[in-house]
Amino acid sequence: GAVVSQHPSWVICKSGTSVKIECRSLDFQATTMFWYRQFPKQSLMLMATSNEGSKATYEQGVEKDKFLINHASLTLSTLTVTSAHPEDSSFYICSARRSGLAGGTDTQYFGPGTRLTVL
Amino acid sequence: QKEVEQNSGPLSVPEGAIASLNCTYSDRGSQSFFWYRQYSGKSPELIMSIYSNGDKEDGRFTAQLNKASQYVSLLIRDSQPSDSATYLCAVSRNAGNMLTFGGGTRLMVKP
């Protein structure tokens, strides 16, 4: 199956600092990646759609100036949480869209997630 | 009304039984349907995808789709304690495009 990695797996930072999370598709190219956030006991909420070489599309209510997304290559998208605050503490998960093989349908594959704790 | 609805559970079944997980969705334009399994503290893992009405079987898992009723289900046969997890239903207007997730159903398989 397709492999998507995230780095770091977990991070603890002080309030006011910025944190960068990387999402990589290891064995396929992904023109589109997605960033989700999941709070405890809740489902995944889509934050933004990241397209290689263009600006990300943010979901309603997600501050684009706070959550900076860069998709500079076909295998890497980054999410930077700027001036993080305790309420930004969450589980951030990326997914990468893999084009269907032999005319099949596209599928999203999820990274292992990054747990962010802001003190 | 939520776009994708699931009973939060927990759904408790004995080991070896059939677990039945249900999901309804509101967007009639949805074309792609997915079941993900998520263990506590981990990211979702794709279990099944289904795109046309009817049943799709893969090992112990069977996905069922009824677009007219806007209903998709997942059956797990011979449930094992290792199947205990939260199962997320996700729908999309187009495979590979943005997914809308349900709240998930927590399944507990008791030995």
- pLDDT tens for each residue of B26-64: 999 999 999 999 999 899 999 999 999 999 999 999 999
| Interchain proximity B103–A43, CB inside 8 Å | yes
The three-state secondary structure class of A63 is coil
Q: Which residues of A touch B88 (CB under 8 A)?
A: 43-44
Query: Using CA atoms in the order B39, A42, A46, A58, what is the torsion angle rounded to 10 degrees?
Result: -140
Interface touch A43/B102, C-beta < 8 Å: yes
| Count of pairs with CB atoms under 8 A, one residue in A, one in B | 55
Residues 20-39 on B with a CB inside 8 Å of A are 32, 36
Q: Looking at CA atoms only, how far is residue A39 from chain B in angstroms? A: 11
**Cα B13 to Cα B16: distance, rounded to the nearest angstrom:** 8
What's the order of all strands across the beta sheet hosting A76-81?
A4-7, A19-25, A76-81, A67-73
- Percentage above 70 pLDDT, chain A: 94
Give the whole-angstrom CA distance, residue A19 versus residue A10.
11
Decide if pLDDT at B95 tops 80.
no
